[in-house]
Structure 1
Amino acid sequence: MKIAISGKGGTGKTTIAGTLARLIARGGWPVIAIDADSNPNLALTLGVPADRAATLSGLPRTLLEERTNPDGTRTAGLRLPPSEIVREYGISTPDGVTMLLMGTVDHAGAG
């Protein structure tokens, strides 16, 4: 099952995503939660202590590689299989959710 949550700012997306992830994980299902927000707070919602959450860094851009296809078009792909990315960069949370942080905005125009 894949669930994506989107909407306008300030509508509770992070709260809903975190609560759903925790409840599903408590039910015994494996859960990977991906925080792709430019202002990431999902770790806090998933129960990661604030001091630990403040030190989390996003996935490195080096995980992506650009490829030129035989027809000359260019695409981006992952350098590692998704399962390896989760294993290497996933953050364990108290209820058993594995969280990935996509990245943060370092300066205006960077997102």
Structure 2
Amino acid sequence: MKVAVAGKGGSGKTTIAGTLARILAQGEHSVLAIDADPNPNLAVNLGIDAETAARIESVPLSFTHHAKDADGNYSVGMDISPEEIVSRYGTPAPDGVTLLLVGRVEAHQAGAG
């Protein structure tokens, strides 16, 4: 099963996603929670203390490659397997959830808001 939570800012997405992840994990499901927010807060919602959450490393974009075919269609691929990404960057959280951070803004750059 794959579940995605989306909505406008302040609508409770992180609370719903974190609660759902923990409930599913307690029900003996394997849960990989992916926080793709540039300002990630899912770790704390999953029960990881704030100090540990601040040290979680985001998956680097260097593992991706972009290509354009002869027809002008773009594609994005990964240079390592999803399993390797989870193995390297997955963080264990309470209730058996594994957290993966992607998209965290590490440093402001031109055009990054």
Residue in 2 aligned with 1:58?
58
Task: Output one character per residue of 1:7-47: Cα deviation in whole Å (capped at 9) or x when no partner.
Answer: 01111100000000000000100000000112110000001
Structure 2: distance between partners of 1:72 and 1:41: 37
TM-score (norm. length: structure 1): 0.89
Residue in 1 aligned with 2:17?
17
- Give matches, 1:12-51, under 5 Å: 12-51=12-51
Residues 48, 94 of structure 1: 8 Å contact kept: yes
Structure 2: distance between partners of 1:73 and 1:103: 23
Question: What 5-or-longer segments of structure 1 have no aligned partner?
Answer: none
The 3-state SS of whatever aligns with 1:6 is coil
Q: Which amino acid aligns with 2:112?
A: A
More off after superposition, 101-110 vs 56-65: 101-110
Q: Which amino acid aligns with 2:104?
A: T
Question: What 5-or-longer segments of structure 2 have no aligned partner?
Answer: none
Equivalent residue pairs, number: 111
Q: Say if 2:88 is the partner of 1:104.
A: no
Cα RMSD, aligned residues only? 1.7
Deviation at 1:94, TM superposition (A): 1.4
Task: Output one character per residue of 1:35-90: Cα deviation in whole Å (capped at 9) or x when no partner.
Answer: 01121100000011110001122111111012344656442200111111111110
Question: Identity over the aligned pairs, expressed in percent?
Answer: 53
Deviation at 1:4, TM superposition (A): 0.4
Structure 1: distance between partners of 2:92 and 2:48: 9
